[in-house]
Amino acid sequence: MNIKITKTTNPKPIPADDSTLGFGRVFSDHMFVMNYKKGEGWYDPRIVPFDDIALSPAAMVLHYSQTIFEGLKAYRKPDGNIQLFRPEENFKRMNLSGSRMVIPEIPEDVALAGLKELLKLDKDWIPHSDGASLYIRPFVFASDPFVGVRPGEEYIFMIITSPSGPYYATGLNPVGIYVEESFVRAVRGGPGYTKTGGNYAASLAGQVEAQKQGLAQVLWLDGIERKYIEEVGAMNIFFVIGDEVITPELQGSILEGITRKSVIELCRKWGLKVTERKISIDEIADTYKSGALKECFGTGTAAVISPVGLLKWGDLSMEINNNKIGDVSKRLYDTLTGIQYGKITDDMNWVREL
């Protein structure tokens, strides 16, 4: 498929100071768009100036949330070249989400080619400073005007990009997390393992509660027994207990994070014992009380490695590693960002230079 490019005639000023970017607030000059119609398939891949879009008020996504998204980043290397981190994994996962949400399969090669063209055009928007990058948001939604409930027959696939700093204002300083006991995010059989908007809408009430308590995020427990740890709002979660690195197993209700997968691979390469299993919040409290809980950290594209310094479960406030980043978390952060920013050799074959 040929990608048609229309350049903006009205380029916006590129923010000069990366330290004021925050996360996901500023958008680059162009976006990638492609349409789908039942019977016709995907058509008209194009790059156009970033702008508002027109949608019918009856567009199906607005009513029944048939939508999926992804999140990845473009990094600037010290030599100025640009690279992506495991981008094929994102488009593969996008189609996995799509199959659950009955969204037609996206041609992964066209999506990746479109993204690369977009990045070439908006190269100057990729930040220069450490810890800043261009956050990339591919997404698909049902756009046909119809208020009955059925899968959409028309879809729009878009990629927008946003120069961003750290996801949490605290940067690499540990965050505080609140264990949610009444709301649940997902159950097995539902779309918990996908990146669909509704999962995030369902998580907002918990996030508001966390913020009321002065904490950054929510740690979700399983929806059936309300006992086993699942994941955080926008991150998977890991614990270092004794010498072992432990993360909840994948069983359908949590997202299979690409950072999670990379962390597991790195830890195993370093000879650390990594276990994916069910882990209950009571077990975490016991290991905390016995002194065996050494570290806790979240993993995600936006957050990278985010140390958790405080875990609040009911009346129990667990301060982990004196609210400081631990050795495993730091080594993972340094290695992952080193590979992503092209500062250390990528012997895992993870990065793709533009």
Which residues of the shown chain bind ligand PLP in the complex (CB under 6 A)? 71, 231, 234-236, 255, 257-260, 299-301
Using CB distances below 5 to 8 A depending on partner kind, what does residue 253 bind out of ligand PLP, ligand COI, none?
none
Number of residues that bind ligand COI (CB under 6 A): 5
Take residue 156 and report the two structure tokens written for it: 């729009």
Looking at 133, 162, 301, 337, which residue binds ligand COI (CB under 6 A)? 301
Query: Cβ 234 to ligand COI, closest distance in Å?
Result: 4
Determine phi and psi for 106, rounding to 5 degrees.
Answer: -90, 135
Using CB distances below 5 to 8 A depending on partner kind, what does residue 106 bind out of ligand PLP, ligand COI, none?
none
Closest CA to 317 of 346, 284, 353: 284
Q: Which helix (H) or strand (E) holds 19?
A: none
Using CB distances below 5 to 8 A depending on partner kind, what does residue 299 bind out of ligand PLP, ligand COI, none?
ligand PLP
Query: If binding is defined by CB under 6 A, does position 138 make contact with ligand COI?
Result: no
Query: If binding is defined by CB under 6 A, does position 300 make contact with ligand COI?
Result: yes
211, 204 Cβ separation under 8 angstroms: no
Q: Which range, of 10-18, 96-104, 183-191, 300-308, touches ligand COI by CB under 6 A?
A: 300-308
Report d(CA 73, CA 136) in Å as an integer.
5
Nearest 5°: CA angle at 157, between 153 and 161?
160
Query: What DSSP string describes 82-132?
Result: EEEESHHHHHHHHHHHHHHTT-PPP-HHHHHHHHHHHHHHTGGGS--STT-
Residue given tokens 């590129």 in the structure block: 14
Q: Which is nearer to ligand COI, 42 or 85 (CB)?
A: 85
Residue given tokens 């409930």 in the structure block: 149
Using CB distances below 5 to 8 A depending on partner kind, what does residue 255 bind out of ligand PLP, ligand COI, none?
ligand PLP
Query: Cβ 129 to ligand PLP, closest distance in Å?
Result: 21
Residues 45-84 that bind ligand COI (CB under 6 A): 71
Report d(CA 343, CA 269) in Å as an integer.
19
Nearest 5°: CA angle at 170, between 169 and 176?
110
Looking at 229, 302, 310, 318, which residue binds ligand COI (CB under 6 A)? 302
Longest Cα–Cα distance in the chain: 63
Residues 213-252 that bind ligand COI (CB under 6 A): 234
Q: Which is nearer to ligand COI, 221 or 234 (CB)?
A: 234
Query: What DSSP string describes 160-186?
Result: EEEEE--SSTTTTSPEEEEE-SS----
Query: If binding is defined by CB under 6 A, does position 165 make contact with ligand COI?
Result: no
Q: Which is nearer to ligand COI, 97 or 321 (CB)?
A: 97
Q: Which is nearer to ligand COI, 42 or 238 (CB)?
A: 238
Using CB distances below 5 to 8 A depending on partner kind, what does residue 107 bind out of ligand COI, ligand PLP, none?
none
Q: Which helix (H) or strand (E) holds 200?
A: helix 197-212
Query: If binding is defined by CB under 6 A, does position 254 make contact with ligand COI?
Result: no
* Residues contributing to the site for ligand COI (CB under 6 A): 71, 234, 300-302
